[in-house]
Amino acid sequence: MVKAQLVFTKYAHSYKVDIPNLEELSVQQIKQLQDFVSFRNGMFDFDTYSFKIQKTLEYHEFVKLIKELNIESTCKENRELYKEIPRVGFGQYKGMPISDLPDSYLLWLKSNYHGEQKDIFLKEITKRKL
C-alpha cells in the first residue's frame, strides 16, 4: 500500500498539510485523512490536495499525532516562514498572501480599509500599477 506523503506548513494560527500523492491513495486512506480533518474542524480541499486546520501545532506534535492514529504516511516539514510573506489578517481572504489578492479587492481596500495593513496594500496596488 502507498503511504500518504504529508507536507506540513505551520502558520501563525493554523497549519496546512499538502498531500502531493493524494490520487495514489486508497479510498480507505483518504477517508481516514478526511476523518482526521473533520474531527478537528478543518477544511479538506481536493482541488489543491491539501487540508488546513485552524489550530496552532508544531511539526513534531503533528508527526506524533499522525503516528498515534496509525495513519500510514511519511511526513515532511515545509520550512517556508510565515512572517516573510505578507498575508491578509482578516476577512474572507484571511491568511492569503497579499500578492494573491484579486485586483478588485485591493482597489476596494484602498477606499474602505484603514487598519494597520493599509501601507502593505497600497504598496501592492502600486506594484501592480492599478
pLDDT of amino acid 41: 93
Query: Can you list the residues of the chain whose pLDDT is less than 50?
Result: 82
The region, left, alpha or beta by phi > 0 then psi within -120 to 50, assigned to residue 91 is: left
pLDDT of amino acid 56: 86
**pTM for the whole thing?**
0.62
Residue 5 Cα distances to 34, 55, 119, angstroms: 15, 21, 39
CB neighbourhood size of 59 (10 A): 16
Residues making up the chain, counted from first to last = 130
Nearest to 54 by CA among 25, 94, 86: 94
pLDDT of amino acid 81: 52
Residue 66, CA atoms < 13 Å, CB-side half-sphere: 23
pLDDT of amino acid 80: 63
Could you say which DSSP state residue 79 is in? -
Q: What span, in angstroms and rounded, lies between the C-alpha atoms of 64 and 83?
A: 25
Q: For residues 85 and 11, is the Cβ–Cβ distance under 8 A?
A: no
Phi and psi torsions of 53, nearest 5°: -130, 130
44 beta partners? 51
